[in-house]
Amino acid sequence: MLGIAGTIPMEDVPLLTGRLTMADGDILIEGRRIPVNRGTSALIGAAVKTSEVLGTPQPFGYIVGDIGRGVGSRHLYKHLVDTFAEFTFHTFTFHYLQPIVHWHNRLQQVIDGMGKRPVLIADAGFMYVAKMSGHAPMYDLFTPDVGELAFLADEMAPHPFYTRGFILHEENRVPDLIARAYEHNNAARLLLVKGEKDRLADREGILCEVDGPVEGAMEAIGGTGDTLTGIVSALICSGMDMNEAAVVAMKTNRRAGAYSRPTPATQVIDIIRHIPRALEDTLG
């Protein structure tokens, strides 16, 4: 089963744990309805749609409200530290959490002590803290965009906000940035980099690229990286080889975007609706 941990931008939502489904474009968990915006709700929406097509169990969520003060994130970190060792998930994806190094490191110690650990995927704030803490190599997959890749490549930066200017966020420098991230052990075993071209890479370099369909507006649409992470998480959890899952996810996310006929004003829910058709087309 796929586990997903992250926050949603609603201050009054306590920690919710349970199966994730979708109805009428909203996420359902523990009887609560959560609108799909960018962030973890977009990741969940994409993972649920992908699981529906694959016929695999729906993801299991650990979701809490947090509008940036970090209160909900701390609650979620504590719950994960207390319970993660008992988990039997095949794959676990960490997403929007406040980057807090000491909480990450407590969780890392729990995971290190597990006999059999899940496939570990990190994106967004949790990817930031994984890198910041110096433990990036314990993860199986990071899913940065090009700006976040520059942050991974800057061994001095504790957050993308401090990425030094000479490490330019340029698309044509992606191979160099990937090499630099691995050189300083600030990357997961695999990197799936979202950009004008989507790329899968490991320590040896770029393994494959997907460059179509091309929809320039996708860069402006909040949540299109979250959907990519959701799709690849569900594919990996289905048992698909990780490299193959990454390629299928890159193609599916781009196709879903193209099917939505996007403009820079398109919202991510309009792309999520097209994931089933896009995935079916990709899988042939």
Partner 1 sequence: MVFENTGEVIQAEGVLKREGCEVRVMGPPPEIQSGCDLVIEFSLIERLNILRTLEKEGVPPLQMVPVTGPLLQPVDIFHIKDFGEYLMVRAANMKLTVEKATGMIVNVSGGGCPDVPYLASAMVGQSLADAPSPRKIGHTLCGYSLQLAYEEARRRCLV
Q: What is the largest CA-CA distance in the chain?
A: 49
Quick note: the x/- pattern for partner 1 over 104-143, rule CB under 8 A, is -------------------xxxxxxx--x-----------
Q: Which stretch binds partner 1 (CB under 8 A): 17-25, 134-142, 155-163, 237-245?
A: 155-163
**Does the footprint of partner 1 cover residue 239 (CB under 8 A)?**
no
Residue from 13, 52, 54, 70 touching partner 1 (CB under 8 A): that is 70
**Does the footprint of partner 1 cover residue 180 (CB under 8 A)?**
no
Shortest distance, position 208 Cβ to partner 1, whole Å? 24
Burial 234-260 (b: 16+ CB within 10 A, else e): bbbbbebebeebbbbbbbbbbbbbbbb
Do strands 26-29 and 21-23 pair parallel, antiparallel, or not at all (unpaired)? antiparallel
Residue from 18, 137, 158, 276 touching partner 1 (CB under 8 A): that is 158
Size of the residue set binding partner 1 (CB under 8 A): 59
Beta bridge partners of 226: none
Q: Which stretch binds partner 1 (CB under 8 A): 33-41, 49-57, 172-180, 253-261?
A: 33-41
Do strands 16-19 and 2-8 pair parallel, antiparallel, or not at all (unpaired)? unpaired
Residue from 1, 75, 106, 267 touching partner 1 (CB under 8 A): that is 267
Burial 199-214 (b: 16+ CB within 10 A, else e): bbbbeeebeeebeeee
**Does the footprint of partner 1 cover residue 253 (CB under 8 A)?**
no
How many residues appear in the chain? 284
**Does the footprint of partner 1 cover residue 257 (CB under 8 A)?**
no
Nearer to partner 1, 52 or 219 (CB): 219
**Does the footprint of partner 1 cover residue 41 (CB under 8 A)?**
yes
Distance CA 127, CA 142 (A): 7
**Does the footprint of partner 1 cover residue 229 (CB under 8 A)?**
no
Joined together, the tokens standing for residue 77 give 């970190």
Look at the alpha carbons of 103, 108, 109, 110 in this order and tell me if their dihedral is positive or negative: positive
**Does the footprint of partner 1 cover residue 23 (CB under 8 A)?**
no
Distance CA 191, CA 174 (A): 11
Nearer to partner 1, 212 or 264 (CB): 264
Question: Residues 6 or more apart from 101 whose CB is under 8 A from it?
Answer: 129, 132, 133
**Does the footprint of partner 1 cover residue 16 (CB under 8 A)?**
no
Question: Residues 6 or more apart from 109 whose CB is under 8 A from it?
Answer: none
Distance CA 279, CA 169 (A): 30
Shortest distance, position 264 Cβ to partner 1, whole Å? 4
List contacts with partner 1 (CB under 8 A): 7-9, 37-41, 66-70, 72-73, 96-102, 123-129, 132, 145, 147-148, 151, 156-165, 169, 216-217, 219-225, 263-267
